[in-house]
Amino acid sequence: MHEFKKSTLEEVLSVLESGSRPSGGVDTESGTIPSLGGENISQDGRMYYGVIKKVHDGFYRNMPRGHLFPYDVLINKDGAQTGKVAIYKGDFPYAAINEHLFLMRGKANVIEQRFLFYYLFFEATQQQIIKMITGSAQPGINSSFIKHIMINVPPTELQRRIAEILNTIDEAIQKTEALISKLKAMKQGLLHDLLTCGLDKNGKLRDLKAHPEQFKNSALGRIPKGWRITNLAKLVIRAEYGISVSLEDDNGIPVLRMNNLFAGEVDLSELKYSKSREASNLLLNPRDVLFNRTNSMDHVGRTAIWRGQWKKVSFASYLVRIVPDYSKLIPEYLNLWLNSQSTQILIRKYATPSVHQVNINPTNLQKADITLPQSVEEQYTMVDAADSHDARIHTEEQYRDKLKLQKKGLMHDLLTGKVRVRV
């Protein structure tokens, strides 16, 4: 550690300032200059521009402080997310911060901005910042917090090298996340193609333009030969509600709820439990399809398939277990169909409003028409194609998570000096 000098954050900063708020009390969206706040800082230290408030040019020019420059380090100074940090990379020609952020600039030849960002993002430093938070109704930190935050500062050349290493792994994480997002977007396109064209005997998507002879006319337009359109009720042999009992945080039989259904699969985190006889008497079987019958319009209709991960698992009353006739409709195909965007739009037409939510009961759900291959074998082939795409998404997600773990370990080793970096 002889290369690292222990200092307070105050000793290494040349600028710490907050932004200003317009005289009207809130940022106006009719302005031209972005005015960034806590909502523009994500938990992973990146800038988020999904929602941007703006101020007028005249207000920006007359601001006494809070003008942003490339590589300013930003920290959220109040609210539930106090302490969140990010580094601004000059994404706009002109930009400012509002009164909910501090910007920080280090002293020249003392601390490098990217190193400052990573050090403040470092878990150990975040714990220091949390201790500086005051207030309960409106938590926050004031400018004096920099007097108490300790930082180990190596020579600037070493700071740059450390920042480069961490930035490299950050870029790899971002590229992987971009690929995951692309693959997920492609999945909906794949589902649409599978559910409207299907696969030929060679396992290739049928092409209506190239091979119109492989299709026939129907009430819903051209569909592949060997397919049919039928009412879902004719294919379902059982649809039943889950248990309506109070749930516990631990002990008993796991009970799946709406938040456990995600992207067609069951997420086994954040489980609730029940010791009731009802839970013991209503257990899921492998390949049961679960449908969320009531919630907001955004969440009603959420569907997943139970893969039999555990032997004893029940489900809550606002979920419906759907069991199809396997000889006509395999559960995996039903799960694909219910999770497609077109089907989600279709079934929401059957939603009935109630207080603060909507409901799609099983009877109404089964009024929907489903297009499917009469051949169960083709249904399995289509499911396999979708599963192969999901497997690639899962592989990339595992790689991203591995990178994040590596980054966490590297930050500890590099920022504490535990591992020496060659300049």
**Tens digits of residue pLDDT in 329-374:** 999 999 999 999 999 999 988 888 877 789 898 999 999 999 999 9
Please state the rounded mean pLDDT for residues 151-162: 94
Segment 378-392, tens digit of pLDDT: 999 999 999 999 999
Q: Give the tokens for residue 49.
A: 């521009």
Q: Rounded to an integer, what distance in angstroms lies between the CA atom of residue 284 and that of residue 242? A: 10
User: In this predicted structure, what is the pLDDT of residue 78?
Assistant: 93
Identify whether residues 17 and 41 lie together within a single domain: yes
CB 342 within 8 A of CB 196: no
* Residue 25: pLDDT over 70: no
Residues 23 and 119 in one domain: yes
Checking if the pLDDT of 141 tops 70, the result is yes
| Residue 135 clears pLDDT 90, i.e. is over it | no
Is residue 195 assigned to a domain? yes
Residue 211 lies in a domain: no
For residue 103, being part of any structural domain is answered with yes
Among candidate residues 94, 119, 153, the one where a domain is terminated? 153
Q: What is the CATH number of the domain that holds 400?
A: 1.10.287.1120
What pLDDT, on the 0 to 100 scale, is given for residue 24? 62
Query: Could you list the residue range(s) of the whole structural domain that residue 379 is in?
Result: 156-201+375-423
Handedness of CA 372, 374, 376, 380 (dihedral sign): negative
Distance, in Å, from the CA atom of 272 to the CA atom of 264, rounded to the nearest integer, reads 20
Q: Which domain CATH number covers 362? A: 3.90.220.20
As a whole number of angstroms, the distance between CA 289 and CA 320 comes to 8
Q: Is residue 319 one of the residues assigned to a domain?
A: yes
Instruction: Examine residue 216 and state whether it is found in any structural domain, yes or no.
Output: no
Q: What percent of the chain has pLDDT over 90?
A: 83
Q: Across 221-284, where does the E strand assignment appear?
A: 223-224, 227-231, 236-241, 253-256, 261-262, 264-266, 272-274
Q: What share of the chain has pLDDT > 70, as a percent?
A: 98
212 located within any domain: no
pLDDT in tens, 256-312: 999 999 989 999 999 999 999 999 999 999 999 999 998 888 889 999 999 999 999
Asked if residue 251 and residue 192 are part of one domain, the reply reads no
The answer to whether residues 369 and 381 belong to one domain is no
Up-side HSE of residue 351: CA atoms within 13 Å toward CB? 25
Instruction: Give a yes or no: residue 221 inside a domain.
Output: no
Largest distance between two CA atoms of the chain: 79
pLDDT for residue 375 is more than 90 = yes
130 with 112, same domain?
Answer: yes
Please tell me the distance from the alpha carbon of residue 77 to that of residue 141, in angstroms, as a whole number.
Answer: 5
Last residue of a domain, one of 129, 153, 177: 153
Residue 405 has pLDDT above 80, yes or no: yes
Counted domains in the chain: 3
Beta carbons within 8 Å of 412's beta carbon, 6+ residues apart: 122, 123, 124, 418
Q: Is the model's pTM score more than 0.85?
A: no
Q: Are residues 256 and 363 in the same domain?
A: yes
- 178 and 277 co-located in one domain: no
Say whether both 347 and 237 belong to one domain.
yes
285 and 385 fall within a common domain:
no
Is 15 in the same domain as 138?
yes
Query: Residue 394 falls within a domain, yes or no?
Result: yes
pLDDT for 124 equals 95
Task: State residue 27's pLDDT score.
Answer: 61
In sequence order, the β-bridge partners of residue 239 are: 322
Residues 264 and 280 occupy one common structural domain: yes
Residue 423, pLDDT score: 65
Q: Helices 331-339 and 156-197 sit at what angle, rounded to 10 degrees? A: 110
Torsion angle of the four alpha carbons 322, 324, 329, 331, in this order, in degrees rounded to the nearest 10? 50
79: pLDDT strictly greater than 70: yes
Mean pLDDT of 31-37: 92
Q: Is residue 240 domain-shared with residue 339, that is, in the same domain?
A: yes
